[in-house]
Structure 1
Amino acid sequence: MNHLAVNEASSPRRPRAPRSTAFVSLALIALGVVGCSAGGGSSADEAGDFSSEVQGSGGREDADAAAESEGESDEPRVVIIDGTMTIVVDDVTEATNAAIEIVDTAEGRIDGRQEYSGGGDGGSAYSTMVLRIPAESLDGAIAELRALGTVESVETATTDVTSDVEDVDSRIAGLQSTIARLQSFQAEATSVSDLLTIEAEIATRQTELESSLTRQAAYADQISYSTLTLTLQSEPAPIQPEATGPDSFWSGLGVGWTSLMTFLGGLAIILGVALPWLVGIGLLTAAIILIVRGIGRRRAKRQPAPPAPPMTAMRQDDPAAPVGAGSMPPAP
């Protein structure tokens, strides 16, 4: 037993550097990611020596860049210019072609176009275009567009995106640096688990980098090319006043005949609507009359006839004096 113990103690142990290196690499990856997301700020204090090794000059470069940006506040600001313009023209098609030539001369482009011919109902025709003109050529292009007709309105607005652009640029630089560090750790990985972890982190940071690059390209396009929404419209056709009455005998006759037919047609409609009511009211009235007459006849039959008055004779000598009962009038 002692012999075995001596042999075991005296025999050289296998180096465990690969496992230690893997753990250190994972720690460096985590610290590097935290340092990138935090912008090289408070994570450096929490990371300790590993963070200082990973970030190193990168953190100092970020600090120097921040100091330089604070000291160079007088630099030109980055702005996006948007505007709208409405012009009344004689011929919308001709003015539209002229506007396209102006944009081509300024080395711009047209991102959208919509036209309306007026529909033949007296409405005004118009053409709306979304013009993308280089920012340095915008003022000159607007001056040339003014010559197309009568300008009704012109509006331009600027949006300061300096801080947004700087944030995107800084994030892109940080992501690129982090991906480079992760790729160097990937080359030194000694286990499958470490390799898979590093690859997952690289894929995540690569997705974020592509999104930031897309935003950067969008900002660059909006800054380089100003957006001007141009509307070209024509004057609406004058409305002709309608005739107020006939101007001849035959036209008057036609108007009279038309009005008569209109009246008769309206009267027929009224009669058609009222006829069912009239029939119903007539039948109801007839029924009421018959009922009332029937009731009157029944009452007349039930009442007795009044007695006849007594017969009286008049005296011959006195026509006014009645003749006594049982006496006969004198013979003639």
Structure 2
Amino acid sequence: MKARFTSARWGRRATSAVLAGLLTVGALTACGGSSDDSATADSGGAPAAQYDAAAKSGGDADRASVVSPESARASVGQKLVRRANLNLKVDSLTGAAQRIRAIAAQQGGVVVTEELYSGEQAHDTSGTMTINVPATSLDATIALIEKVGDVQFRNTSSEDVTAAYVDTEARVKSMTASVQRIRDLIAKASTVNDLVALENELSQRQAELDSLTAQLTNLKDQVAESPITISLSTDDFEAVTAPGFLSGLKSGWSAFVTSLSVLVTVLGAVLPFVAALALVLVPLLWWLRRRRAGRLPLVAPVAQPAGPAPPSAG
């Protein structure tokens, strides 16, 4: 009896041990499978969401790597856009324009615009020229132009664009790095969805980069070159523009003469048509009047009433 009880007890222990071993092996297998799946997910291609997160975080990383505005301004120096305006009274308009063109070529500049006007009289002439010269030669060019005639007016101005220059340049560098990062991600894309999403992002950033590059180029051109506008006249600018009774009278008379000339021109243009209409309408009206008069009925003379008969003689 005792031996039978011992044998049954050992049988139960053996069964329990086997079950415990199986459970342990199953747990280890499950852990190993999850570890393999995790490793596979980490080693495989990143999904589109990870590409998008990496692409969008690139701009933040670029902005974080940009130096401070103070350091950037110190590195590029001060950027100024300089301009000048001159009014000159000259003896000969064409001669002064020729000398200004020569000065512009001598200073390494170009003539942007040139407008010369000639009036009815020889002294009634004026004109405007605009030239672009290197900013470093602006003062020397102005000094040479002042010798062309008598300076009636002079104005120079400077605009500080250092902040805009530094900001645009930093944004160009940041966007250039961002575009390159998107290109690298496109080379590593593993699915069509990832490729489409990254190409859309690349097109948007490339368009923004092109716009920023154009703005930076424009700023560089404005800083590198200075425009000079020269107004030329053979008359005194002050006498032409000075207000007063004589100036108003001259302007009024000029307007009256102009209006009278326009009126005479209009009358001369209309007169042939009026004459042609008169040749047609005058005979027509005369004929209609004669016809109407012929159709009027003749009025018979009105009979006078008879008076009382005279009395007969008895």
Q: Is the 8 A contact 2:78 2:162 kept in 1?
A: yes
Aligned runs of 1:92-103 on 2, under 5 Å? Answer: 92-103=93-104
Aligned partner of 2:162 in structure 1 is 162
Mind listing any 5+ residue stretches in structure 1 that lack a counterpart? Answer: 41-58, 237-332
Q: 2:52 aligns with which of 1, 26, 33?
A: 26
Aligned runs of 1:41-120 on 2, under 5 Å? Answer: 59=65, 62-63=66-67, 65-66=68-69, 68-69=71-72, 72=74, 76-118=77-119, 120=120
Aligned partner of 2:18 in structure 1 is none
Which protein has the larger Cα radius of gyration, Structure 1 or Structure 2?
A: 1
Higher relative contact order (CA 8 A, sep 6+): 2
Aligned runs of 1:101-140 on 2, under 5 Å? Answer: 101-118=102-119, 120=120, 124-140=124-140
CA RMSD of aligned residues (A): 3.0
Q: Deviations over 1:104-143 (max 9, x none)?
A: 000101111211112x057721121111011111111111
Shift of 1:168: 0.6
Q: TM-score, normalised by structure 2?
A: 0.60
Aligned runs of 1:140-289 on 2, under 5 Å? Answer: 140-235=140-235
Kindly provide the amino acid, as one letter, of the partner of residue 194 in structure 1. Answer: D
Shift of 1:66: 4.4
SS across alignment from 2:199: helix
Q: Deviations over 1:143-169 (max 9, x none)?
A: 111111111011000000000000110
Kindly provide the amino acid, as one letter, of the partner of residue 53 in structure 2. Answer: A
**How many residue pairs are counted as aligned between the two chains?**
208
Shift of 1:18: 3.5
Q: Is the 8 A contact 2:88 2:152 kept in 1?
A: yes
Could you tell me how far apart the structure 1 residues matched to 2:83 and 2:212 are? 23
Shift of 1:190: 0.8
SS across alignment from 2:40: coil
Identity rate, percent: 24
Shift of 1:78: 0.8
Q: Is the 8 A contact 1:18 1:190 kept in 2?
A: no
Could you tell me how far apart the structure 1 residues matched to 2:121 and 2:209 are? 55
Q: Is the 8 A contact 2:110 2:133 kept in 1?
A: yes
Shift of 1:15: 3.0
Mind listing any 5+ residue stretches in structure 2 that lack a counterpart? Answer: 1-21, 237-314
Q: Is the 8 A contact 1:88 1:232 kept in 2?
A: yes
Shift of 1:77: 1.4
Q: Deviations over 1:264-317 (max 9, x none)?
A: xxxxxxxxxxxxxxxxxxxxxxxxxxxxxxxxxxxxxxxxxxxxxxxxxxxxxx
Shift of 1:98: 0.5
Change (3 A) 1:223 1:146: same
Could you tell me how far apart the structure 1 residues matched to 2:77 and 2:54 are? 39
Shift of 1:25: 2.2
Aligned partner of 1:324 in structure 2 is none
Kindly provide the amino acid, as one letter, of the partner of residue 33 in structure 1. Answer: G
Q: Is the 8 A contact 1:86 1:231 kept in 2?
A: yes
Q: Which has the higher helix share?
A: 2
